[in-house]
A and B are shown apart, each in its own frame.
Chain A
Amino acid sequence: MASMYVTKDQSSLYLTGIIEDGDQLQYNWSLSKSYTLIIAKGSASITDSSSSVHSRDAIGLYRVAPNEELNLTSTSAQCIVICPFLLSDDTTMNELFTDASTLTSLRNSSSYLINTTDLVATKTTDTLTSVSGNLVFSLADLDSAVLGGLSI
């Protein structure tokens, strides 16, 4: 299936999806506010709830509308997409994390939620990779990824 990486820094939470050609990435949840989808590499088609298809090439931006679930298909050999969220945005954070304790831990943690190598000037992750197949990324998956990453 496509790969999803959950990372953070002091101010933001990032969902990074890596999707192979023809594979789909879906979020089976929506937010009450719009958010940004960045097509960082390759190209993708996004199908909205009215079945309209929106194509984007890297580096491209797509506004995920309020109350819309994300439904994206990679149209290139490898498509990388990023959704950044502000940790200080209470509305969005409370919708992403129904378990308040997870959100509190996330905000208070200095973890990046992923293994990094210390290069003094930067902390750098290993190369992100993808696997073939579709992925439905749920809020339960997000909660698990955060809880699993807090100890890193």
Chain B
Amino acid sequence: MRTVKTITTQDHLLHVVETNLVNDKRTCLNDDGSNLSLSSELSVFIVEGSENVFSQDGVGDWILRGSATGPVWSIAQPNVVPGSVATSTTEICIVFVPKETAAIENTPGPSYIQDADVMNLDRESFVDVGGVVLDKQVDPNTFDDNDTPIDEQVTDDIVFE
């Protein structure tokens, strides 16, 4: 199972992504569940755990490109359809989205981000704007693009001040 928790900070939106099963899948998704590429770079810090890194080729086949083991920085590239599969029982990542209007609008994320009006939240508070739970395991060597329904949990709580 993979959980995503989103928190706003002074200048960034943080997605804290934690998987607790080997072979948990990670992609960027459109609202309709289809895979998509990023429009700009996105930094991800893999705190611990390991993953196999995939991207789609020109005909939509997933190609294994290598692996990464934390702690490392991983900068997702624009105009590539990315995917990864956890190869350790626990993997924890932090995704950094700049708190700038264009970046928020152009970076794929759970729908609660649009509802939270992130740009107008108090800069000095850390606000928990929501979470998502996903459950999908795939073959770590071949990938699989079957996606499951998203269970969103909107909280909008201030977690620290």
Q: Residues of A at under 8 Å CB distance from B?
A: 5, 7, 9-12, 14, 16, 18, 33-36, 38, 40-41, 58-59, 61-63, 80, 82, 84-86, 88-89, 112, 114, 116-117, 119-128
Complex partner residue of A119 from B7, B66, B100, B161, CB under 8 angstroms:
B66
B86 within 8 A of A: no
Taken together as a complex, chains A and B put the C-alpha atoms of A33 and B124 apart, in Å, by 10
Which of chain A's residues have a CB closer than 8 A to the CB of B9? 36, 38, 61, 84
> Closest chain B residue to A66 by CB distance?
B124
Q: Is the CB of A121 within 8 A of B126?
A: no
Q: Is the CB of A7 within 8 A of B11?
A: no
Which of chain B's residues have a CB closer than 8 A to the CB of A112? 73, 75
Complex partner residue of A11 from B47, B66, B100, CB under 8 angstroms:
B100
A122-B160 CB under 8 A given contacts A18-B71, A88-B100:
no
For the complex, would chain B's binding face be called helix, strand, loop or mixed by DSSP majority?
strand
**Nearest chain A CB to B81 CB, angstrom units:** 8
Q: Is the CB of B82 within 8 A of A40?
A: no
Complex partner residue of B94 from A12, A33, A38, A121, CB under 8 angstroms:
A38
Which of chain A's residues have a CB closer than 8 A to the CB of B72? 124-128
* B101-121 interface with A by 8 A CB criterion: 103
Choose among A10, A85, A122 the residue with the greatest number of B CB atoms under 10 Å from its CB: A122
Q: Residues of B at under 8 Å CB distance from A?
A: 7, 9-12, 14, 16, 40-45, 47-48, 53-55, 63, 65-66, 68-77, 80-84, 92, 94, 96, 98-100, 103, 123-124, 126, 159-161
Which of chain B's residues have a CB closer than 8 A to the CB of A124? 53, 66, 68, 72-75
Which of chain A's residues have a CB closer than 8 A to the CB of B11? 12, 35-36, 84-86, 89
> Closest chain A residue to B63 by CB distance?
A120
For the complex, would chain A's binding face be called helix, strand, loop or mixed by DSSP majority?
strand
Taken together as a complex, chains A and B put the C-alpha atoms of A128 and B65 apart, in Å, by 21
Taken together as a complex, chains A and B put the C-alpha atoms of A128 and B75 apart, in Å, by 15
Complex partner residue of B96 from A62, A80, A84, A114, CB under 8 angstroms:
A84
Taken together as a complex, chains A and B put the C-alpha atoms of A58 and B90 apart, in Å, by 14
Q: Is the CB of A123 within 8 A of B75?
A: yes
> Closest chain B residue to A65 by CB distance?
B124
Q: Is the CB of A11 within 8 A of B73?
A: no
Choose among A61, A84, A88 the residue with the greatest number of B CB atoms under 10 Å from its CB: A84
Which of chain B's residues have a CB closer than 8 A to the CB of A89? 11
Complex partner residue of A127 from B71, B84, B96, CB under 8 angstroms:
B71
Taken together as a complex, chains A and B put the C-alpha atoms of A10 and B160 apart, in Å, by 28
Which of chain A's residues have a CB closer than 8 A to the CB of B103? 11
Taken together as a complex, chains A and B put the C-alpha atoms of A49 and B66 apart, in Å, by 46
Choose among B16, B43, B92, B159 the residue with the greatest number of A CB atoms under 10 Å from its CB: B43
Taken together as a complex, chains A and B put the C-alpha atoms of A65 and B91 apart, in Å, by 31
Taken together as a complex, chains A and B put the C-alpha atoms of A119 and B69 apart, in Å, by 13
